[in-house]
Structure 1
Amino acid sequence: MKTTLHFVALSCALALPVLGQAPAPAPADPFEAGMREAFTIYKKGDAEGTAKKLRELLKILDSKAVTKLGTLLPDALGDWKAEALKTEDSPSGGVTMARTYTSGEKKVTIRVAKDSPQLTELLPLLVNEELLKLANRNVYKVNGHSAVMEGGNKLQVAVDERILVDLQSEGGATEPDLVDLAGKLDVASMAKIK
């Protein structure tokens, strides 16, 4: 009996400090943890390592922003049915969300890119309708935003001078199909994403 009492007393003595402790902290946000790591690397004087870590963190931020845009590429746009949403790395920096839509034999891939350094240079040209008309490009208004045909199978829509929506015909879709499909996108919500 004495042994049992000693065992219970010892168990309680060992358990009380654990019970009195604060709960374990929640896992850190990957971006916050990365910033702390970048700062630690910087304090060690490793400029190259710091730059590398900061580039990784920029990709995390780009990915979060573009993922929000991906939610605006729905499973269906009218009669057009969507395939799986894809994330693509952009050679100009940043990330692009893409989704392919089909309607019968027609196929169109819609890509949405945001805040890429290359877009900063391209988008002002896409909203200059006079310049585009001089270049004999077909210019449209899609939900109040400038859209321009590039060749016969690509429509580009500039949204808020930060976002490029690119519709590429990959099989049978015509210029009117591209313009109609672009009109079904929630471009106003895209413009609100920061």
Structure 2
Amino acid sequence: MGFWDQKTEGILRSFAIIGLVLTVLLLGFDKQTTQIFHIDKKASFRSLHAFVVIMYVDSLAAAYNILQICNCWISAQPKGTSKLGSGSHICLFWASFLLDQAVAYLVFAANTAGMEAALLAVTGAHDFQWMKLCNRFERFCYQVGGAFLCGYGAFFAMCAICVISSFNLFRHYLPNLFFRLKSNE
């Protein structure tokens, strides 16, 4: 992998980490108390189990991306005559490719499940006699919406990372057919 590939991947992983951490912070510190029928009700991320799942998934995804940034930094350091793309390291490219895919899909699934739960809070469900909650907890709902924007932004950055990791993996198989990588060497 060239220097620019590692630099681009590092920048994208940094954006993903920022988005994931912002999602966790916005959900984690989001609390609002209001009075409903003379009873104080408190809304927090623990109010919906989907938000708790988002907190765990996004925290683990941020930690994974931090480890991968360390890997990018270590592999960018100048080495002697060893070549990272040798056959013994193909399993590392496969592991990175599969883990990047899994983490991106988990972040997408968790944020989408949370979005579905939040949509019920916005619209309510008249058939089940569930009232709209966002007209009572307005600030809470706006902050949750911001958390979802950050979460989906991190997901799109991780999609771009998946493209880079798939390119880094599959360029080792038939390089003369794909992009003529070995023609200049």
Bigger Rg, which one: 1
Whether the TM-score (by the shorter chain) exceeds 0.5 is no
Q: RCO greater where, 1 or 2, for CA within 8 Å and sep 6 or more?
A: 2
What TM-score comes out, normalization by structure 1 length?
0.26
What TM-score comes out, normalization by structure 2 length?
0.26
Structure with greater proportional helix content: 2
Structure with greater proportional strand content: 1
